[in-house]
Amino acid sequence: MDKNKKKVLKILTVCGSGVVSSSMLQVRVKEILANHGMKDVKIFELTPSMIKSHLEREPADLVVSTTKIYDKLDIPVINGVPVFSGIGEDKFIEELVSTAKQILQDKGE
Amino acid sequence: MNGILESLNTVFNTFGSNVFVPVMLFIIAMALGTGVKKAFFSAIYAGVGLVGFGFVINAYIPLIVPAVQSMVEVTGIQLEIVDIGWQATSVVAYATQAGMLFLGVGLLFQIVLFLVGWTNVFQPSDLWNNYSYMVWGSLIFVATGNMWLALACMLVLNLYSLLFSEILQKRWATYYGYDNCTVIQLHHVGAVPFAIAANWVFNKLGLSKIQWSPDSIKERLGFIGEPVTLGLILGLLIGFLGNMTSLGTLGAWGNILNIGVATAAVMAVFPRIAGLFAQAFTAITQAARERSVKAGSREIYIGVNDATAYGEPATLISGIILIPIMVVVATIIPGNKVLPLVDLIALPFMVTALVAIMNGNIFKVVVSGTVWFSLGLVVATKFSGLFTQVASQFGVELPSPDALVTSFGILTKPIFGGLIFPAFLNESWLWIIVLLVIYFVAWAWLRNNKEAVHDYLERTADGEAPVEA
């Protein structure tokens, strides 16, 4: 039980309003990770200004954002625009999957 | 063809939008080849969003509308039209017959325009924002009962917004740093001609030299940009003004505080519902893009959601500075009766075209934004009666027959709403023909001079360097 709990990936999807893009992004991120065997994913949809206070309440592993994040964060930030533009989408998927795998690996240790 | 529209209409009225919208989305998703599972989830999220939106708006309106009405009565401030926000407007728009029609036809139209090379902007990647066309179309339909006219209006608005987007695309992509991406939303690109003209005037006046630094302003004003704080402040303000004559009573303070908390709640909850609704569009958006966009030799721009621009310091700060300005200005503009409310929080989105063209000069953006949105308020005032009719037909329950609602973000459009839309509303064929002629001439001109236009915008964004010493 405890071991399982550790392995949940906590991801923040971020867009300007915390509404439309972050919500669409959330669907895609879940789908991509599930396709690569990572199904224990918990996602929160936020605006950029909500990230810091959210992290104080609840730590997360990774940020995927369609806007630029100007705050300095301790967790990796991946640019989610390719999900919408399609430009560099393969690279995005690669980056997301490898980062997520790395995080899970670090957690497992 | 009229027969098809009529039978669609009958089916629509029988099942209602909560059923009809999901079914339409399911069909479109299947047609684009998303597979049954994704199509099913698209459909169910649309239904959930529509129903959920009804719950929230119908809890809030009976509280806020009387509060605003009593504010008008007590203070004499003639701002009786309540701004219910873009989220509510989007859901209303998708739930109309015009919206349903455009969901399919608009998508097809935009894909074809891109594939045949009429435009280099791929718009379906921002499918969600098509509600901005649907709003105007649904107003035409409610006023005239003529769906063809509504469709024609939506398509012409679409052509014009693509034209403006093609002018803006390079500047926007450069400023925000998203290669080959641009904004295409009707509610943003309408500002492009105005922004270019305003920037020309500013540069002539030498205003490019005025540079405000974003950071200090952000620290002082940042709290206004938080949805719940802004909601609370505005709610308390409205409540206070409405109860000014009875401040000695406990009941008055109960009312003031309740309006404050409820407005904060709406600012926090509306986005969640809109988020559920937006999930319905993920699969369709992706499928449309994957099927249409192939990497090729021609230069293309992908339409992206306006949220990609939010958070950029100059954009966020100009928007936040405009929040209190627009509340004050709304009270003094002749001809305005709109009380900007829920959409104030969207101002940092609404300035994106101005910001790009003026290269993030906050002073320029704030001055031009004040003028532009003020003009828009007059337009929104004019059509609030029609919009209220549309909203009430599709689920928004109003506490009294004379209550009026609008959206500050979506209906305040001087060019699209003030110059193009009325041609269709008044069924003025001459006007429509003039609009089409202007469009085709402008389109052809832009086709031959695009590089020059883009160069001009790059050169003048920060104030034109003197040509001769």
Lowest mean pLDDT, pick from B21-25, B266-270, B344-348, B358-362: B266-270
- Whether residue A37 contacts residue A69, with contact meaning beta carbons closer than 8 Å, is answered with no
Identify the CA nearest to B126 among candidates A47, A28, A24, A89.
A24
Quick one: which H or E segment has residue A11? strand A9-14
The answer as to whether B467 is a domain residue is no
State how far the alpha carbon of A27 is from the alpha carbons of A13, A64, B89, in Å.
10, 12, 23
Residue B433: Cβ-neighbour burial (10 angstroms; 0-12, 13-18, 19+): exposed
Instruction: Decide if pLDDT at A6 tops 70.
Output: no
Q: Taking the CA of residue B204 as centre, how many other CA atoms within 13 Å lie in the half-sphere pointing to its CB? A: 6
Instruction: Enter the DSSP assignment of B344.
Output: G
List pLDDT tens digits, range B242-296.
999 999 999 999 999 999 999 998 888 888 888 888 888 888 888 888 888 776 6
3-state secondary structure of B83: strand
Q: Which of A94-103, B193-202, B216-225, B351-360 has the lowest mean pLDDT?
A: B216-225
Contact (Cβ atoms closer than 8 angstroms) between residue B101 and residue B133:
no
Is residue B275 within 8 Å of residue B77, measured between CB atoms?
no
Q: Looking up tokens 């972050």, which residue turns up?
A: A22
Is residue B457's pLDDT more than 50?
Answer: yes
Mean pLDDT across A1-15: 74
- Beta bridge partner(s), residue A11: A43, A62
Element of type H or E holding A89: helix A89-108
In a domain, B469, yes or no: no
The alpha carbon of residue A48 is apart from the nearest alpha carbon of chain B, in Å, by: 7
| Facing residue for A85 by CB, picked from B181, B281, B313 | B181
* Token code pair at residue B99: 């919206």
Cβ atoms of A46 and A36 within 8 Å: the answer is no
Which numeric CATH code is attached to A2-108? 3.40.50.2300
Query: Does B372 have pLDDT greater than 70?
Result: yes
Ranges assigned E (strand) in B223-371: 301-303, 338-339
For the residues B36-43, what does the mean pLDDT come to?
92
Instruction: Give the contacts of B466 (CB within 8 A, at least 6 positions apart).
Output: none
Residue B367 has pLDDT above 90, yes or no: yes
Residue-wise pLDDT tens digits, B144-186: 999 999 999 999 999 999 999 999 999 999 998 888 889 999 9
Written as six digits, the tokens of B196 are 């270019």
Confidence of residue A109 (pLDDT cuts 50, 70, 90): low
List, in order, residues 6 or more apart from B202 with CB less than 8 Å away: B208, B358, B361, B364, B367, B368, B463
In eight-state DSSP terms, residue B248 is: T
Give the CA diameter of chain B: 73
Q: For residue A1, name the pLDDT band (cuts at 50, 70, 90).
A: very low
Task: Mark which residues 53-72 of A lie under 8 Å from B by CB.
Answer: 66-70
- DSSP tag of A41: E
CB atoms within 10 A of CB B97: 23
* pLDDT band per the 50, 70, 90 thresholds, residue B356: very high
Handedness of CA B378, B380, B386, B392 (dihedral sign): negative
SS3 B146: coil
Predicted confidence band at B466 (pLDDT cuts at 50, 70, 90)?
Answer: very low
Q: B interface mutation test: which of A13, A23, A53, A79 has the most B CBs within 10 A?
A: A23
- Give chain B's domain count: 1
In this prediction, residue B464 carries a pLDDT of 61
* pLDDT at position B219 over 90: no
3-class DSSP state of B302: strand
Chain B contacts of A21, Cβ < 8 Å? 278, 305, 307-308
Residues of the domain holding B146: 2-460
Nearest CB to B307: which of A20, A28, A87?
A20
Neighbour-count burial of B13, counting CB atoms closer than 10 A to its CB (0-12 exposed, 13-18 middle, 19+ buried): exposed
Secondary structure letter of residue B81 according to DSSP: E
Quick one: which of B156, B133, B28, B113 has its CA closest to B292? B113
Please answer yes or no on whether A19 and B274 come within 8 Å at the CB atom. Answer: yes
Q: Which of A16, A28, A81 lies at the smallest CB-CB distance from B178?
A: A81
For A68, the closest of B222, B306, B311 (CB atoms) is B311
Q: Which residues of B touch A81 (CB under 8 A)?
A: 178, 181, 304, 308
B318-340 pLDDT tens trace: 998 999 999 999 999 999 999 99
What integer best gives the mean pLDDT of chain A?
Answer: 87
According to DSSP, the residues that pair with A14 across neighbouring strands are A46, A65
CB-based contact (8 Å) between A80 and chain B?
Answer: no
Buried residues in B381-390 as b, exposed as e (16+ CB within 10 A): bbbbebbbeb
Contact B307/A17, CB-based, under 8 Å? yes
Instruction: Sort out which chain B residues have CB atoms less than 8 A from A54's CB and list them.
Output: none
What is the rounded radius of gyration, in angstroms, for the C-alpha atoms of chain B?
22
Cα→Cα distances B272→B87, B325, B336, Å: 10, 27, 30
Task: Please tell me the predicted confidence (pLDDT) of residue B295.
Answer: 60
Residue B465 predicted with pLDDT over 80: no
Residue B272's closest chain A neighbor by CA? A19
For chain B, percent of residues with pLDDT exceeding 70:
96
Per DSSP (E only), the strands in B364-431 are 404-406
**Domain membership flag for residue B465:** no
Q: Which of A13-27, B18-32, B387-401, B415-429 has the highest mean pLDDT?
A: B415-429
Could you tell me if B317 and B218 are in contact, meaning their C-beta atoms sit under 8 angstroms apart? yes
Contact at CB, A20 and B177, closer than 8 angstroms: no
